[in-house]
Structure 1
């Protein structure tokens, strides 16, 4: 996180939209027509995946990857006009939400405007041709940020878009120099004060691989100098291994707890179960009750929650990036009411400024606690805290809550409003997620 990153981002929710496959129409207008439904889920920020024209040379699939951009300063005509895009932004703002767009500054399509007009701004292979540094990205060519004229062009482009949008999600941000991002942040702030910066930081293994090949790649700690938020790819691989039964819940819990001390005080992690590069959550977690628990933990986990379009319907199929493949919302599952309730919990001010920890209560049950921080060393009052119980196998449980610090009594589950009893330091659950607040219990004497 940058020094001025606002901790209140930890109380917010991002909803990611791939315009091409969000609807059958695949247009800005179709998104605009659905804004009220999106807002009803509980959404603060809409992230539009790349909105720009797509290259034709070396195109993947029939329509090409949205991340192989031909012109940073135009919009994809299949989605609508630039005026249509501006109307969408206005409609989002009218509803009190913010909008961010994808910035793909590591590479362009081989037939991009920049590749044609400024080939000197690109990475060149040994034979002098344009190329990329990562072999399987054969539909793009990499930019070379040793050219400071490129910096000027890219920053001017960001300033142009910042007149309409509230910030940027930056693709493989780790592979673009941090000093560039710092300069961009400073310049954009003059056009859009308080602009939001979300980094797609990359997996630790990818950082190490890049460095082994002489490719500069920033760690999360470096990325946070310029960005407000970063992906939690630093531990996402461990999460996947837990789902696959390769590691224990204790291993995943320890990884989460490590984040609390290795990053600065106002760090914000983007927490997600799925995105356009990953399997759908329902595909990886087929049991519906288990899925509800994982979703509830995603909201409760320290950071900003990030949804991918169609997740509210429990969709199992990840839309193709390179072809027309509209989301099927008619799945028979509707997670929208749960998301709406979790959004209300997400707004709890305890989550804004807390010391956070997770503990394993049994092989499939994780307890997470947000302890509200004191305002100063002179603040000696007892601060409230939140306790979340998440049953990742969706099974009813009898749990010892001795480590929670909660006294015996009756509490209200903040998710569903149901009364919960703690007796002799224990609780019996039905396998649904539970979130309790320490100062809202009614003491029980026995």
Structure 2
């Protein structure tokens, strides 16, 4: 991990916006009217999916993936102008939030400005044809960082954006060599020293696949040397296996506890139930009360939190990356109050610096225990909305559920769980 990364970044809530689909207009200016509502959720950073022009050659779908960028240094005309981008950044700052943009440095579109001007910056096979490490990404051309002239171009682009934004979410960060990221962070810090770096890190199966082809790809342990935050894809397959009933809660909990000791003490994971690359949480978790528990549990884990636009309303449709696919904001579910309250709890020192331990309490109920000095905070989440009993070391008495204000009674060291999420502290009322 970057040695100077502060554990205070565990307090962050990041709200991800796909500008094209977020509003009827699909523009940077139109997004501004939604900023107060986004701020009210407890949002610290707004992360914009790529806002650059999309390539045409090999385009997937009608409008193409925002990750097939034609020109790193321009704004997609369909979304607005450079002035619109600067104005949005100013409005985000006025709301007391910060702005993070997507940096896509593993590849460009197949008709990008960079490819036309510098074909030597790209991977080619023995016949001189463009070559991709991942053949499924047929709409992009992959960059070759063995050419150090490329480094200069990419870092200068980062400096240009660093004058305006407060953070970078770096796409496919592990496939870009770590020495580049270390140099980029060093040079960009001269423009903005407190810029936040988030890596889209990856899981073990993909790391094994890319390394088997003889290419660089960083593990999370390596990626933390250059980045402040990383995805929790290292345990993503375990999560999906638990949801699918392939492993028990006890096995999943062991994975989460092991994760907490694998990385440097100041590691910061970005916890998420959904993002633009994966199905909506409500698509995977059909039961609304289960979704409530999972939302609370996810935000109660050690680390920063990602909210993918629409998640707060339990949207189940995953927007297409390749077509215009507007969000349908009409829904009967509203998790906004829960998300706001869980974020409020995450600001407390005990959840930032405290000792962190998870336990399988039986019947698909998970306990998360934070402790610091004499203070203890306990979260109880019924992931399948089951009722049950949970044993605790808290003294008998009545406690206040800090999620919704309800009373929680402990008698004979036992809490009766009815299926709703609970967070209590070791101070009886």
Fold match by TM threshold 0.5: yes
Q: Please give the TM-score of this superposition, normalised by the length of structure 2.
A: 0.99
Provide the residue aligned with 1:379 in structure 2: none
Runs of 4+ more than 4 Å apart: none
Out of 415, 431, 440, the position equivalent to 2:419 is 431
Unaligned runs of 5+ in 2: none
TM-superposed CA distance for 1:126, in Å, is: 2.0
Q: Distance in 2 between matches of 1:308 and 1:36?
A: 16
Cα deviation code 1:418-440 (max 9, x no counterpart): 121111010112211001112x2
Aligned partners of 1:71 and 1:113 also within 8 Å: yes
Q: How does 1:150-189 map to 2 (within 5 A)?
A: 150-189=150-189
Q: Distance in 2 between matches of 1:357 and 1:78?
A: 47
Aligned partners of 2:365 and 2:386 also within 8 Å: no
Q: Distance in 2 between matches of 1:435 and 1:109?
A: 47
Aligned partners of 1:131 and 1:140 also within 8 Å: no
TM-superposed CA distance for 1:326, in Å, is: 0.4
Q: Secondary structure at the match of 1:395?
A: coil
Provide the residue aligned with 1:441 in structure 2: 428
1:414 aligns with 2:402: yes
Q: Secondary structure at the match of 2:163?
A: coil
Cα deviation code 1:394-433 (max 9, x no counterpart): 12322222xxx31212111111111211110101122110
Aligned partners of 2:7 and 2:266 also within 8 Å: yes
TM-superposed CA distance for 1:170, in Å, is: 0.3
Q: Distance in 1 between matches of 2:134 and 2:276?
A: 19
Provide the residue aligned with 1:6 in structure 2: 6
1:54 aligns with 2:42: no
Q: How does 1:102-251 map to 2 (within 5 A)?
A: 102-251=102-251
Q: State the aligned residue count.
A: 429
Q: Distance in 1 between matches of 2:44 and 2:419?
A: 29
Q: Distance in 2 between matches of 1:408 and 1:24?
A: 54
TM-superposed CA distance for 1:319, in Å, is: 0.3
TM-superposed CA distance for 1:259, in Å, is: 1.2
Unaligned runs of 5+ in 1: 373-381
Provide the residue aligned with 1:377 in structure 2: none
Aligned partners of 1:248 and 1:363 also within 8 Å: no
What root-mean-square deviation, in Å, do the aligned CA atoms of Structure 1 and Structure 2 show?
0.9
Q: Distance in 1 between matches of 2:126 and 2:375?
A: 61
1:398 aligns with 2:389: yes
Out of 371, 378, 381, the position equivalent to 1:387 is 378
Q: Secondary structure at the match of 2:41?
A: helix
TM-superposed CA distance for 1:331, in Å, is: 1.7
Q: Distance in 2 between matches of 1:399 and 1:301?
A: 19
Q: How does 1:254-265 map to 2 (within 5 A)?
A: 254-265=254-265
Q: Distance in 1 between matches of 2:12 and 2:103?
A: 21
TM-superposed CA distance for 1:295, in Å, is: 0.3
Q: Distance in 1 between matches of 2:410 and 2:11?
A: 28
Q: Distance in 1 between matches of 2:264 and 2:189?
A: 22
Q: Secondary structure at the match of 1:230?
A: strand
Q: How does 1:347-358 map to 2 (within 5 A)?
A: 347-358=347-358
Deviates further, 17-26 or 124-133: 124-133
Aligned partners of 2:363 and 2:386 also within 8 Å: no
Aligned partners of 2:363 and 2:388 also within 8 Å: no
Q: Distance in 1 between matches of 2:68 and 2:304?
A: 27
Q: Distance in 2 between matches of 1:257 and 1:167?
A: 29
